[in-house]
Amino acid sequence: MARLALHYQKEIVPALRRDLGLKNVMQVPRIQKVVVNVGIGKRTKEADHLKKVSELLERITGQKPSPRPSRISIAGFKMREGMVVGVRVTIRGPRMYDFLERLTTMVFPRIRDFRGISVKGFDGRGNYSWGMTEVNAFPEATPEDIELGQPLEITVVTNACTNVAGERLLRALGFPFNDTLIK
C-alpha cells in the first residue's frame, strides 16, 4: 500500500472526522479518482504529435491514456466530429495515491517561482481542478517533452459534498494551497 494511502487511513481519517464533526468513518471525504487531461490544440492533424503527447502522459501517470474525440464539428477551428482533440488518463487505487504523493512531494517543489495553488479551483462539490504548464517539473519528462508545449489539466474527484470538506482533505494530503492568490 502507498505511503500516502496509509497516512490517509491512520492519521487523516480520524483528524477529519474530528474536525468536520462526523459521526461515522464512512462520512469522511476521500479521493475517488484523479483525471489527467491533455488537449492537443491546433496540432490535431499531426499523428506524430498525438503519439508524443500520449507517451508523455503514459510516463507521467504510469497508465496508458485514452484518446478523446470531439463531440461536435466546429468549422472555425477546422474540427470535425470524431477527431481526436486530446488524451486522458483516469487513475484510481494505489496508483492514484502514488501519483498524488509524487505530485505533492516532488513536482510542486520543482516548479519555478511556485507560491502554491489557488483555492478557487473547487467546483462547489468538493472536486478540485487546476492546470499545469510546466511539464518539466515531472521527473519523467525529458527535454523533448518541454518542446511539445502541452499543459496538463488535473482534476481530483472526491466524495466530499462541500468545498470546505474537499479543501480540508486536500490540505491534509499535502496540497500547497495559497490563500493569497488573486485571479
User: What does the DSSP assignment read for 90-134?
Assistant: EE-HHHHHHHHHHIIIIIHHHSTT---EEGGGB-SSS-EEEEE--
Q: State the total domains in the chain.
A: 1
Considering the entire predicted model, what is its pTM?
0.86
CA nearest to 34, candidates 6, 61, 74, 4: 61
CA pseudo-torsion sign 63, 119, 172, 161: negative
Look at residue 23 and tell me if it is in a domain: no
Look at residue 49 and tell me if it is in a domain: yes
- The predicted model gives 132-157 an average pLDDT of 81
Residue 181 has pLDDT above 60, yes or no: no
Residue 49 has pLDDT above 80, yes or no: no
Residue 80 has pLDDT above 70, yes or no: no
Look at residue 163 and tell me if it is in a domain: yes
Q: What does the block give as the cell for 60?
A: 507521467
Look at residue 18 and tell me if it is in a domain: no
164 Cβ contact partners less than 8 Å away, ≥ 6 residues apart: none
Looking up residue 45, the CATH number of its domain turns out to be 3.30.1440.10
List the domain range (segments joined by +) for residue 148: 30-175
Q: What does the block give as the cell for 153?
A: 489539466
Average pLDDT of the chain?
Answer: 84
Look at residue 139 and tell me if it is in a domain: yes
Q: Could you give the CA distance from residue 70 to residue 123 in angstroms, rounded to a whole number?
A: 23
Look at residue 167 and tell me if it is in a domain: yes
Look at residue 8 and tell me if it is in a domain: no
Look at residue 15 and tell me if it is in a domain: no
Residue 34 has pLDDT above 90, yes or no: yes
